[in-house]
Amino acid sequence: MKVEVKDFDIRHYSALVNNSPMYNRMKKFTVLCGAVFVFVALLTILVALKDHKVDPVMIICLTTIFLVFAIYVHRTRKSNPAVSFKTFAEKNPDYKLKVSFEEEDIVFNSSTSFSNTNSTYKYVRLANAAEKDGFFIILIEGTGYLVFDRSDIVEGTAEELRALLRSKLGSKFREK
């Protein structure tokens, strides 16, 4: 049995990452750091106005919180999937990815105008997989997510892929 997925748009992956718990935690921590920075800055200003002098400990705290905040703003922006997708799409306007789910392996063939890459993964490398709302979401350990709509399947059927994933992954495959 072979199930093949046509060239598909990686925006699906971008949407998945944008809604991931890890990315959302990073955004919340960034907002928290910003709020603490504003609070300590206001406290520092109020104390300086009252005493007509600046406490060096408050300045050190304020600077430290600001640096942590700045680092997390940078990390959040850098890991923003929408920005990453836009950058990738600009650099690789002709990017194509073909994925074949074969009996023993998953084969990736990616290409751009200047390179072609072929990768093969055994099913044991899959951390988990799910089918939800017409999309297949597959996490490959150490590589990342593969997300595609069942209408992207050009060879075989969604039912065949579901059966293959169920047989290879057992309880690591979920239908939601």
Asked if 99 contacts 155 with a C-beta cutoff of 8 angstroms, the reply is no
In whole angstroms, what is the distance from residue 148 CA to residue 165 CA?
A: 14
Return the domain boundaries, the chain.
3-8+93-175, 18-86
pTM over 0.75: no
Q: Could you tell me which CATH number the domain at 3-8+93-175 has?
A: 2.30.29.30
pLDDT digits (tens, 9 = 90+) for 99-137: 889 999 999 888 888 888 888 999 999 988 999 888 888
In whole angstroms, what is the distance from residue 62 CA to residue 99 CA?
A: 50
Asked if 105 contacts 3 with a C-beta cutoff of 8 angstroms, the reply is no
Closest CA to 2 of 176, 161, 167: 161
pLDDT digits (tens, 9 = 90+) for 14-67: 555 555 666 677 778 888 888 888 888 888 888 888 888 877 887 888 888 888
Report which of residues 109 and 143 the model is more confident about.
109
Asked if 142 contacts 132 with a C-beta cutoff of 8 angstroms, the reply is no
Asked if 16 contacts 169 with a C-beta cutoff of 8 angstroms, the reply is no
Residue 173: per-residue pLDDT: 92
